[in-house]
Structure 1
């Protein structure tokens, strides 16, 4: 999807500025929203050309040339509905609007509509990001930009594309900056609430605050991951396995840079030159059943391995879902550089 700032404008924006948005957005249309965020029109290159021919000036407000009947569908629309309205009106882009008329998504020429998913997602964003210091001295790691876009905005955009709408964000270190940036999530087409950690509670401790709110499987993921994994497939895998928890697993391999000796007592029985070793590691993405929250105590520190161990000790099944898509854990400066390069490639 295109960045939201290039997708929409206001009726009073000049035609010149709307043209700049059209050029940068790449969707050949900019949607017009009123002061309440309600979609009131759309403007394309053709609308602007016709307006200029009719006497409008580049400094005139875009309301003077916009189409007052933009193509829209509700979030419950099927892909067939979207394709039909595109064919009928001879257009490439359709806006998705909620019951109040607010735009929550855009389906472009090669996009498919994302059916809204009720499954909640918890983003763990309370860490100090010490390995990225001094970058994280005055900015929380989720707000560190990849190019010109904060990392957490990219994560939220990808969640929205997959249909997730209910997001809980766990905050502690410089959490007020995250709250100021994201607000209630409306700008992202999401519903965002916050889990406030009075002190660092580990990678699972803040989840205790959801004990009375969660009544279905939910996703937990770190907010420093750049990944293309389809969480809908992970959810389906989790449900099919009947697990209490599912861990997103990623293969991690490394080469030992020396010849490795295998021996029996004092006798060498084999030599391996720079062997490659691999293991499955936790990718920082989990699906949990609500019963997992019963293992937690409010405001008590708990990391995710401890929570999972408690489930297994109680006889509960914990599964592993292998992730083969792009996955970068932005923990170190070199990882941040890799993530920035990957993000730039994805935008070309």
Structure 2
């Protein structure tokens, strides 16, 4: 349980988070990533605050189909909550702990010029949102990658000098997540021998032992019965530079029971697509592009969803989301990934991942 500190926390520099009034959505994304504070601040030439845009604002605009080249004004919050510098502890606590969804507050002087940024996690003892357990699915057969997977489970295939699963765990740990449950079945001993209890990786690792194929949701039945609060679920064959802390914040702010991370997928029709009405030609679209959002294999679930699992048998994650949305159509949120992501399902995917592994260093 976090406890409130009673001193005014240090103020953070926002130099990397600043953009001009004529910036685009893409400029804001670059500032959010460079500043690592999940927020960009738009200022005028005199550094007066014009508005803010959060990481969540950007991702919601992506879902709406807004082009990254659009003016930032399309998504800018022009009336953000701010504090006058220097604030008292009580003023900061009222803003950061009293407003739902606010974890960053710009500090401004008497002329509205930006001085810096205060964060919720600096106001309380302990990390916020970083106690989410992480469930990693690593029990699959990897049949499409044979003969490589005849002796090595797919999550343990080497990419850039370390196993896929180690890339995943290290990225979570670097972002403050420490507790892991790894669902194992096929060649489980290879995974357990490599990671052990997780201490060597700065983690606490437990194993969910599958004796039969249970699916990405069915194996959640093996979690401790006393599990509470939200937790991550992720396929163990993904390479991604995802910001897991941002996903956690987004899930909490949405108030959803479950969040599914999405990835944009574009398909080009290799022909001219004919439009016709009643047998008469209306037009031709030459090799059009179709944009879709697909399931990325990364989720955040509230522990209450474990009650929706069938008592036994195979059960996958899409089936769990179907069951949830049938019960409550508004219970599931979606989070669009804009960072690097690669699903290693076939040999061509593995080759691509090995050539792109440097992208994992991206924020």
TM-score (norm 2): 0.63
Structure 1 counterpart of 2:240: 227
**8 A contact 1:211–1:294 mirrored in 2:** no
Aligned to 1:198, the other structure's residue is in SS state coil
Alignment of 1:100-111 (within 5 A): none
**8 A contact 2:155–2:237 mirrored in 1:** yes
Q: Does 1:294 align with 2:307?
A: yes
Alignment of 1:1-348 (within 5 A): 115=127, 117-210=130-223, 212-315=225-328, 317-344=331-358
TM-score (norm 1): 0.65
Aligned to 1:136, the other structure's residue is in SS state helix
Instruction: Call closer, same or farther: CA 1:236–1:347 in 2, change over 3 Å.
Output: closer
4+ residue segments displaced more than 3 Å: 344-348
**8 A contact 1:211–1:290 mirrored in 2:** no
The separation in 2 between residues aligned to 1:258 and 1:182, in whole angstroms, is 49
Aligned to 1:118, the other structure's residue is in SS state coil
| Greater relative contact order (Cα < 8 A, sep 6+) | 2
Unaligned runs of 5+ in 1: 1-78, 81-113
The separation in 2 between residues aligned to 1:299 and 1:127, in whole angstroms, is 18
Instruction: Call closer, same or farther: CA 1:335–1:297 in 2, change over 3 Å.
Output: same
Q: Which has the larger radius of gyration?
A: 1
Aligned to 1:282, the other structure's residue is in SS state strand
- By how many angstroms is 1:306 displaced? 0.5
- By how many angstroms is 1:333 displaced? 1.1
**8 A contact 1:206–1:298 mirrored in 2:** no
The separation in 2 between residues aligned to 1:171 and 1:123, in whole angstroms, is 9
The size of the alignment, in residue pairs, is: 241
**8 A contact 2:179–2:203 mirrored in 1:** yes
Structure 2 counterpart of 1:108: none
The separation in 2 between residues aligned to 1:340 and 1:284, in whole angstroms, is 20
Unaligned runs of 5+ in 2: 1-8, 11-125
Structure 2 counterpart of 1:41: none
- Residue deviations 1:222-278, cap 9 Å, x none? 111111111111111111111110000111001111111112232221211100011
Aligned to 1:119, the other structure's residue is in SS state coil
**8 A contact 1:147–1:343 mirrored in 2:** yes
The separation in 1 between residues aligned to 2:245 and 2:279, in whole angstroms, is 53
Aligned to 1:203, the other structure's residue is in SS state helix
- By how many angstroms is 1:183 displaced? 0.8
**8 A contact 2:185–2:211 mirrored in 1:** yes
The separation in 2 between residues aligned to 1:276 and 1:261, in whole angstroms, is 14
- Residue deviations 1:45-83, cap 9 Å, x none? xxxxxxxxxxxxxxxxxxxxxxxxxxxxxxxxxx97xxx
Structure 2 counterpart of 1:10: none
